[in-house]
Amino acid sequence: MSAVHAYHGQGGDIFAAHAADGPHNAYTDRPAMLALAGDVAGLRILDAGCGGGHYAAEFVGRGAEVVAVDGSATLVGHARALLGDRAEVQQHDLDTPLDFAGDASFDGVVCALVLHHLTDRARFLGEVRRVLRPGGWFLLSTTHPVSDWRYFGGSYFDESWVEFPQADGLTMRFQRMTLESLVTEVLDAGFVLERLVEPRAVEALRAINPERYVRLTERPSFVALRLRR
């Protein structure tokens, strides 16, 4: 993600641990994104904001060639430890051009729960479109605007930067956006919207954490888009 808002040091360690098997990542957003991707065998995929490498590992396991990048050296370390030599992993600030990638060099791009951390979303979206081949897909997930509104209150149309406390003292800093802003930004970048989903927890979470399962199936937490170049 953005190097400014990435999880560094101990924050990166905590984030990687929660992403591995936490309700929001492992049982809600990640299954939804994998479902949106469909068959990825033989595809070359960029994981933009790879975190601890858990999404990349799933795509590699399904037969894709993956390049994974993140703005945090700590999370790049976790991703390399998880992926080994099965994927190319490097540190890169997503608020800067994707200068490591050529035009039309990927079949798909995944950006999971990262967009709201970026300070130059328009440039990032333009870069994603550049590195995608014609007809390639872009999977994008972010915090649900209604969830943010419920938590922070005030105007739904407030798009200020906020801080959200998480477990173990970790704080997430991100910019709120409306659903209108999200969809308008990706359309203005030249993408075609194929599908919009509001991920709910998968059934497997019910036995592990029934209270969180109910919460994540009754209230929106994330929104995910499948886009086409």
Q: In this structure, are residues 108 and 138 in contact, taking their beta carbons and an 8 Å threshold?
A: yes
Cα–Cα distance, 144 to 156 (Å, whole number):
11
Domain extent, residue 203, equals 9-143+187-228
Assigned domain for 181 exists: no
Domain count, the chain: 1
Assigned domain for 168 exists: no
Assigned domain for 131 exists: yes
* Cα within 13 Å of Cα(16), Cβ side: 24
Cα–Cα distance, 192 to 226 (Å, whole number):
9
pLDDT at 166: 74
Read off the CATH number of the domain in which 123 is found.
3.40.50.150
- Give, for all 229 residues of the chain, the pLDDT tens digit: 555 545 666 666 777 767 778 899 999 999 999 999 999 999 999 999 999 999 999 999 999 999 999 999 999 999 999 999 999 999 999 999 999 999 999 999 999 999 999 999 999 999 999 999 999 999 999 999 999 999 999 999 999 999 988 767 778 899 999 999 999 999 999 999 999 999 999 999 999 999 999 999 999 999 999 999 9
pLDDT at 14: 75
Residue 31 makes CB contacts below 8 A (sequence gap 6+) with: 199, 202
Assigned domain for 56 exists: yes
Assigned domain for 39 exists: yes
Q: In this structure, are residues 136 and 108 in contact, taking their beta carbons and an 8 Å threshold?
A: yes
Assigned domain for 3 exists: no
Largest CA distance in the chain: 47
Assigned domain for 176 exists: no
Assigned domain for 170 exists: no
pLDDT at 6: 59
Let me know how long the chain is. Answer: 229
Q: In this structure, are residues 198 and 223 in contact, taking their beta carbons and an 8 Å threshold?
A: yes
